[in-house]
Structure 1
Amino acid sequence: MSVHQAARTPSDRSVSGWYGLLPPPKAPEVLRGRHKADWIIVGAGFAGLAAARRLSQLVPDDRIVVIDAQRVGWGAAGRNSGFMIDLPHELGGENYGSSQAHDKKRIRMNRAAIEFSGSAAKEYGLQSHFVRSGKIHGAATSHGLRALHDFEGHLTGLSEPFEQLDAADMKRITGTDFFLGGTFTPGTVMAQPAGFIRGLASGLSERVEIFENSPVTTLRPGKEHKVQTLEGEVVAPRLILAVNGHLESFGFFKRRLLHIFTYASMTRQLSETEQATLGGEPHWALIPGDPMGSTLRRIGDRIVVRNTFTYNPAMTTNDRQIQKIGHAHDRSFKARFPMLGDVAMDYRWGGHLCLSLNSAPAFGEIEDRVYVAGCCNGLGTVQGTLYGMLTAELAVGTRHPMVNDALEEPPPSKLYPRPVMAVGAPARLWLMQKRAGREL
């Protein structure tokens, strides 16, 4: 088997608001020296920790080692908006949906992942980071209302419940008259993503060894797989790669993964006077009617705004890009909450998404006893959990029915040639975001 050298390792910039709200973690356990295990999992995000938890249930006497390049919760797992969505959520679609048959399967699988996470929240006392609150699709334009109408029609065809919200309902919930209407769906869980993932790692630490700040530099598959970091190595007969887009950094799925960054800002704490001026409910979560619009969350005395997608094939962003897009967040925030005046942002950050052109995951056994769970297509919380859980099932050989469902998915399709992607991907993102208009 070939040796896989890491072309790059994760290096996320600036602290996310979710991580910043947590107390400082204890000192990391860094991988040093030589270790032997039954299982190696690379990546301690939603996929990696779901795989670790499921393995600890299926093979409780096995030694399971998890290795992460950064602190748990610092990377992509702690940088998303925290929506664990049960319904179809195709970012490139007009109404977030696909074919009815595919969407019904996706709903069933997403809900299984949510229940798996829910059992972990109960087991480890993480209910404050895992709230079954549902979500709102909000529309600020006639275009957005048409998108909501299409979305509701798709849900009706799927026999899925929803509640229509008018402008008065939206103001009662959000405190702003920016929105013309909305659609509430009850099945989404709202997570504090960094808090949930750190709590999950802490809960698993009694059964699973977790090494942080230990970027993997080399993979040597064989009868005994060897994973090397700067200061240590682990050997084991079975290896799970749960690194999402960084699968390509190790040479897997070359020219098949689309590396997109999205960005968020979180306000400082709102004063009691500001909260009274705003009104509305203290906790709510909203995604835009148009997939390229602004996502919003209110978490008591803070508001998070997330928008703008950029094509970053080098799998990194920089402070300048984060700050530039932060100005767009400020404009979006002021348009929605003019009654709050100039509220400063405490945190600004970017996060890496991995998509494929055909919205397919990277899942399965790619070399002998080497398994992958990645390319979550913008749904890392729920699909990362799903494919991590199912990768463990596949590797152990239980043949869980949903493993077959996952294996029936096509592989990520090939990207267009690099010159086409270099011009076409940013242009398409620009056009889609331009179409969103006031929704952005």
Structure 2
Amino acid sequence: MASSAKKVFAASRLPRHTGLSAWVAMLPRRKEKPHLEGHATADVVVIGGGFAGLSAARRLRELDPTLKITVLEAGVIGEAAAGRNSGFIIDLPHDVSSQDYGSDTVARSREAIEISRTAIALASTVAAEEGWSRDVFDPCGRYSVSIGSEGDHHLADYAKALVKLDEKHQLMTASDIADVTGTTTYTSALFTPGTVMVQPAAYIRGLADSLRDPVRIHEKTPAVQIEEAGAGWLVKTPQGSIGCGRIILANNGHAESFGFFKSRLLHIFTFASMTHEFDPVRLPGQRKWAATPALPMGTTVRRVEGGTGDRILVRSRYTYHPNIEAGEGTLRRASAKHDEKYRARFPALKDIPMQFRWGGAMAVTLNAVPAFGEIERGIFAACGCNGVGATKATANGIAAAELMLGQKTRMTEIFARFDAPRSLPPQPFRTIGAKANLAYREWRAGAE
């Protein structure tokens, strides 16, 4: 990777995506920014045009409007992992309900909430400036829903922890949540008002298009090599190159494709399906809601309101792929699980089939910390979202931008205390362990 003359980091692979995301399919065709041709220069190059990269570019521009910033996106804005999630920008951590809920746990949870709300603040500011509708950006809150006694107990414990944190919430009965969802499947729910729901592909497109000069974006322009060039760096692309002083690496798991964080990132795929449109009168309840499962690895569900009909999104199934690519066979198996979960929840809609099915990658570290910081002189990483990517990747990008410019903020203070990502077990034990762990967690989730 490195030579005595200069350091060179070459990409061993480029992103590949499985299935067509419904979020992209439901939007008009994007007018892409031009790909990079020839040689250019910039003060900062951001590699990756998703939540982390675009948020980093936004924050850099806020802090220093004179910076020449170039964002390189390997594909089309909105079609990569950022446009493939379920659209939850969540403010509360998933695990605040431990039985020994002491002062250290409270402090850690409050810092996690502060990180998340910093991300939401950036997103809210952009939404207000750009005048986005609630179809794109909706601060509507979310429901955590249970199917069975184990989930019910978890939600009750979670509510007790939220009391300690002085966070607003509402525990709901089976009847309460049935009035919202139109189904009697759920046995209880917990509503928290701080989550923002987005149409993720539209959000990412809008965030990209809100970045104006001196920020430049090049789509279908993958970075294929990074090499030292004097006091700075040269980023090579298939048809060009760009010289710069500093780099923000915001390509999540594909940081490892350049040799960074080797054997420290687990590449996990999640999968989703979305139905054809149906007549809203077919399903009672509210026409727009979003629910995450009470138990980890359960099923996320959204009802998406449309102008000519509504749709149901189902997200479930987690698989490990060390090559950062999930095949069509994996998607088919996940889709069968989605159909099973969908029919169990919405028997009245069993004649409405799925129209779109897709997968998306996330990068997880063994100790659940971001892959973050100055990893080479002038190269700053904002990777390793560990799930909840819309929130955590946004925060990673903000913190990386502030760190790069030497800002002392709450974000840089909190991120400075994170440990480095731990090394993973060697192969084949890594793959065996990851697959066994995911299978066990899905089994524990059961009907959830």
TM-score over 0.5 for the alignment?
yes
The 3 A distance-change label for structure 1 pair 401 and 341 is: closer
Rounded Cα–Cα distance in structure 2 between residues aligned with 1:431 and 1:109: 30
1:28-67 equivalence runs, <5 A: 28-67=33-72
Q: Is the Cα contact below 8 Å between 2:266 and 2:363 reproduced in 1?
A: yes
Q: Shift in Å at residue 341 of structure 1?
A: 2.1
Letter of the 1:381 counterpart: A
What CA deviation, in whole Å up to 9, does each residue of 1:277-309 have, x standing for no partner? 310100000000111110000111011000000
272, 278, 287: which one pairs with 1:270? 278
Rounded Cα–Cα distance in structure 2 between residues aligned with 1:353 and 1:70: 17
351, 363, 367: which one pairs with 1:358? 367
Rounded Cα–Cα distance in structure 1 between residues aligned with 2:358 and 2:31: 23
Q: Shift in Å at residue 400 of structure 1?
A: 1.9
Rounded Cα–Cα distance in structure 2 between residues aligned with 1:309 and 1:117: 27
Letter of the 1:119 counterpart: T
The 3-state SS of whatever aligns with 1:346 is strand
The 3 A distance-change label for structure 1 pair 94 and 143 is: farther
Rounded Cα–Cα distance in structure 1 between residues aligned with 2:144 and 2:51: 24
Name structure 1 gaps, 5 residues minimum: none
Pair 1:340 & 2:319 matched:
no
Q: Which moved more, 1:167-176 or 1:395-404?
A: 395-404
Rounded Cα–Cα distance in structure 2 between residues aligned with 1:146 and 1:120: 38
Pair 1:120 & 2:126 matched:
yes
The 3 A distance-change label for structure 1 pair 94 and 355 is: farther
Partner of 1:236: 244
Q: Is the Cα contact below 8 Å between 2:46 and 2:53 reproduced in 1?
A: yes
252, 256, 259: which one pairs with 2:267? 259
Letter of the 1:242 counterpart: A
The 3-state SS of whatever aligns with 2:428 is helix
Letter of the 1:210 counterpart: I
Pair 1:421 & 2:430 matched:
yes
Pair 1:391 & 2:400 matched:
yes
Rounded Cα–Cα distance in structure 1 between residues aligned with 2:426 and 2:108: 29
Rounded Cα–Cα distance in structure 2 between residues aligned with 1:36 and 1:330: 50
Pair 1:190 & 2:197 matched:
yes
Pair 1:367 & 2:376 matched:
yes
Q: Is the Cα contact below 8 Å between 1:226 and 1:234 reproduced in 2?
A: yes
1:276-355 equivalence runs, <5 A: 276-300=281-305, 301-355=310-364
Q: Shift in Å at residue 99 of structure 1?
A: 2.4
Partner of 1:220: 227
Rounded Cα–Cα distance in structure 2 between residues aligned with 1:27 and 1:84: 25
Letter of the 1:184 counterpart: F
Rounded Cα–Cα distance in structure 2 between residues aligned with 1:10 and 1:322: 17
Pair 1:410 & 2:419 matched:
yes
1:128-167 equivalence runs, <5 A: 128=134, 129-167=136-174
Q: Is the Cα contact below 8 Å between 2:32 and 2:76 reproduced in 1?
A: no
What CA deviation, in whole Å up to 9, does each residue of 1:414-435 have, x standing for no partner? 1122221111111111111011
Q: Shift in Å at residue 94 of structure 1?
A: 7.8
The 3-state SS of whatever aligns with 1:328 is helix
Rounded Cα–Cα distance in structure 1 between residues aligned with 2:64 and 2:212: 16
Partner of 2:258: 250
Percentage identity across paired residues of the two chains: 41
Calculate the aligned-residue CA RMSD, in Å.
1.6
Rounded Cα–Cα distance in structure 2 between residues aligned with 1:311 and 1:112: 30
Q: Is the Cα contact below 8 Å between 1:363 and 1:407 reproduced in 2?
A: no
Rounded Cα–Cα distance in structure 1 between residues aligned with 2:285 and 2:91: 26
Partner of 1:175: 182
Rounded Cα–Cα distance in structure 2 between residues aligned with 1:166 and 1:306: 23
Rounded Cα–Cα distance in structure 2 between residues aligned with 1:90 and 1:254: 28
Q: Which moved more, 1:51-60 or 1:230-239?
A: 51-60
Rounded Cα–Cα distance in structure 2 between residues aligned with 1:438 and 1:123: 42
Rounded Cα–Cα distance in structure 1 between residues aligned with 2:105 and 2:385: 18
The 3-state SS of whatever aligns with 1:385 is helix
Partner of 1:99: 105
TM-score by length of 1: 0.96
Name structure 2 gaps, 5 residues minimum: 1-5
TM-score by length of 2: 0.94
The 3-state SS of whatever aligns with 1:314 is coil
Q: Is the Cα contact below 8 Å between 2:33 and 2:217 reproduced in 1?
A: no
What CA deviation, in whole Å up to 9, does each residue of 1:200-247 have, x standing for no partner? 111114441101111111011341211101111111001110011111
Letter of the 2:261 counterpart: F
Q: Shift in Å at residue 185 of structure 1?
A: 0.6
Rounded Cα–Cα distance in structure 1 between residues aligned with 2:260 and 2:298: 32
403, 409, 426: which one pairs with 1:400? 409
What CA deviation, in whole Å up to 9, does each residue of 1:308-330 have, x standing for no partner? 00011110112221122111101
- Count of residues in correspondence between the two structures: 434
Partner of 1:72: 77
Deviation >6 Å, runs of 4+: none
Q: Which moved more, 1:146-155 or 1:334-343?
A: 146-155
